[in-house]
Amino acid sequence: MIDFEPTEGDQKILDQVRAEALICRNYARYYDEHEHEFPPEELEEAKGKPNVYTMFAGRSESDSGIGIMSMLISAGQTWGDYSVRMHRGTGGLGNAALRAAGTPEQNEKWGETTLAMAITEPGCGSDPSMVQTTAVLDGDEWVINGEKIFVTTGCRCDGVVVWATVDKSAGRAAIKSFLIEKGTPGFVVAQKEKKLGIRADDTAAFVFSDCRIPRGNLLGGNEEVQQKGSGGFKGVMKTFNMTRPGVAAIGIGMAEAALDFTRDCLTEAGFEITYGGGLHSAPAVVDKFQRLEAKYEAAMLTILRAAWLSDEGEANNTEASVCKAKTGEAVRQITQGCIEILGPMGISREHLLEKWFRDVRITDIYEGTGEIQRMIIARSLLGYTRKELN
């Protein structure tokens, strides 16, 4: 049945997430201004409180799906703050890759660790098939050489899933994922990047020089390089089907915070925000605000749609891109619009709105830019291959 209301059980979890998020918000400004300090693994306030994810136990069939709830929880958390959590989360983007492509043994070995994901290089971002980092088999070890940049959780992760080519002449089919643990000789965290927003997040640059890892660290274990087609590569790309909705959810939570703040300011200033009147009945500022709200609603629903398909076990490749593209644009328009509505008050660092405006900007960039998502959507609409539309 088509339904958009969380169950009582869902709501209990989401209420707790929001309550915790409000606590985290108290720390938001501090870690934004102290970019090189890390938020604690666990806040003082978290002591003795259950991690929300443990509340998933005991949920029934009639509650919303795990994918849907993960999106709502992410959004609820970032509604508080992007980087500060009561409890540190249970993994990074690399963990999603491990779950999607790792062997059972690999999942057993690294499933509990926090893994970052390193695809992007100084010379290659949107087109990951141009990865220059190399992996050469030498006896029972892979030797990794290359540079990776913009690695989320790069400083605090226990290890990283690195994309490298085993044969530069073989194109995309030769790109494989390798699991490299922190502390491996030849693996250096070169720097923590300085950013526009999400400053408390540790985004790092890595250098690998003759970094030797065991042969078994090839994710999925398939050493073969298919000469034709991109089957293997597509497998690797599958990771994005939940991470794209995931980063969209992260973005929409911040946009919601911006809307809530703006609504409070408008109400306090005496503007009445009502619905149901004519299209031209509200004052311009209220109309503008409501249009931003509609964008929020629309984006949120595309995220839930992609997550729901995943919960149903259905393909959601296009929908993951739809929600990422839609949200990437919506959160920019929403936070930019909220500042416009509030004017000088909106740009003051006394409030978090200017921070949200900076923080959400990443949504349309990482995990594939808005342009790349549109290319994926268009290819799917048109039945085009990568060759026919790029």
Partner 1 sequence: MISFKLEEEQQIARDALREFADQVMRPIARECDEEEKLSEEFLAQSWELGLVSTQIPEAYGGGGEERSPITNAIILEELAWGDVALAIAALTPAAFAYAIVDHGTDDQKQAYLPLFCGDSYHAAALAVNEPTVAFDPSIPRTVAEAKGDGFVISGVKSFVAMGDRASHFLVVARNNGGLDAFIVPRDAEGLAISKNEENLGLRGLPTATLELERVELPASARLGGEAGSDVRQLLDNSRTALAAAMVGVSRAVLEFAVPYAKEREAFDQAIAQKQGIAFKLANMHIETESTRWLVWKAAAQLEQGIDATRSAHFARGYAAEQSMWIADQGVQVLGGHGFIRDHLIELWFRSARTISVLEGTLGI
Q: Which residues are catalytic?
A: 367
Contacted entry of partner 1, ligand FAD, none for residue 301, CB cut-off 5 to 8 Å set by kind: partner 1
Question: Minimum Å distance from CB 184 to ligand FAD?
Answer: 18
Q: How far apart are CA 206 and CA 147, in angstroms?
A: 6
Residue 240 or 289 with smaller CB distance to ligand FAD:
240
User: Shortest approach of partner 1 to residue 311 CB, angstroms?
Assistant: 9
Rounded distance between C-alpha atoms, residue 133 and residue 113, angstroms: 24
Backbone angles phi, psi at 131, to 5 degrees: -50, 130
Cβ 121 to partner 1, closest distance in Å?
24
**Distance between CA atoms of residues 156 and 116, nearest Å:** 9
What is the smallest separation between the CB atom of 309 and partner 1, expressed in angstroms? Answer: 8
Residue 125's binding partner among ligand FAD, partner 1, none (Cβ under 5 to 8 angstroms by kind) is ligand FAD
DSSP secondary-structure letter at 55?
G
Q: Give the residue among 78, 211, 243, 30 at the shortest CA–CA distance from 136.
A: 211
- Judged by CB under 8 A, does residue 377 bind partner 1? yes
Contact region for partner 1 (CB under 8 A) — 15-23, 58-66, 121-129, 253-261?
Answer: 58-66
The least CB distance from residue 253 to ligand FAD, in Å, is: 17
Q: Please report, as ranges, the residues that interact with ligand FAD according to CB under 6 A.
A: 93, 116-120, 125-126, 150-152, 195, 203, 362, 365-366, 368-369, 371-372, 375, 390
**DSSP, residue by residue, 250-286:** HHHHHHHHHHHHHHHHHHHTT-----SS-TT-S-HHH
Residue 150 contacts which entry, ligand FAD, partner 1, none (Cβ below 5-8 A, type-dependent): ligand FAD
User: 31, 39, 46, 63: which one contacts partner 1 (CB under 8 A)?
Assistant: 63
Q: Which is nearer to partner 1, 192 or 295 (CB)?
A: 295
Q: How, if at all, do strands 159-165 and 175-181 pair?
A: antiparallel
Query: CB of residue 303 vs partner 1: minimum separation in angstroms?
Result: 10
Q: What is the maximum span of the chain, computed from C-alpha positions, in angstroms?
A: 75
The answer for residues whose C-beta is within 8 angstroms of residue 122's C-beta and 6 or more apart is 147, 149
DSSP 239-256: THHHHHHHHHHHHHHHHH
Strands 115-118 and 159-165: parallel
CA distance 273 to 285: 10
Residue 115's binding partner among partner 1, ligand FAD, none (Cβ under 5 to 8 angstroms by kind) is: none
Phi/psi at 190 (nearest 5 deg)? -75, -40
Examine residue 315 and tell whether it contacts partner 1 (CB under 8 A).
no
User: Per CB under 8 A, does 242 bind partner 1?
Assistant: no
Among 293, 333, 336, 351, binds partner 1 (CB under 8 A): 293
What residue ranges bind partner 1 (CB under 8 A)? 1-7, 10, 62-65, 68, 275-281, 290-291, 293-295, 297-299, 301-302, 304-305, 308-309, 312, 319, 322, 325-326, 371, 373-375, 377-378, 381-384, 388-389
